[in-house]
Amino acid sequence: KQEVTQIPAALSVPEGENLVLNCSFTDSAIYNLQWFRQDPGKGLTSLLLIQSSQREQTSGRLNASLDKSSGRSTLYIAASQPGDSATYLCAVHSFSNTGNQFYFGTGTSLTVIP
């Protein structure tokens, strides 16, 4: 069964700092990997989707990389802002004995201090 781990569980940084969030997964047979943002009491908002054949995706101040062979992905946030404070989740779309499924990590709670 695919296991997805996110480290650290919580992170606090001063405004303006660049930061990296980590995601690791145990089975490299994946379709894609997706990064989400979740604000307290809200649903998930998709940030970036990386297909298994891609190495990275960029959107504004966000850059996500994927190393399928080592089972790792990183989300790089440049010049962090207080509005970036949220929980960041990664999800892996992969095969399982019950079909193809999405497996989520438990998230990294980010606080950007003004």
53 binds another protein, rule: CB under 8 A: no
Nearer to another protein (CB atom), residue 107 or residue 112: 107
Structural contact between residues 102 and 92, judged by C-beta atoms closer than 8 angstroms: yes
Nearer to another protein (CB atom), residue 26 or residue 96: 96
To 5 degrees, how large is the angle CA 84–CA 87–CA 89? 115
Contact region for another protein (CB under 8 A) — 15-23, 38-46, 63-71, 73-81?
A: 38-46
Taking the alpha carbons at both ends of the chain, their separation in whole angstroms is 41
Contact region for another protein (CB under 8 A) — 18-26, 54-62, 77-85, 95-103?
A: 95-103
40: preceding bond cis by omega (within 30 degrees):
no
109 binds another protein, rule: CB under 8 A: no
Tokens read off for 41: 């009491």
CA distance 70 to 40: 32
- Interface ranges with another protein (CB under 8 A): 4, 31-32, 34, 36, 41-46, 49, 89, 91, 93, 96, 98-107
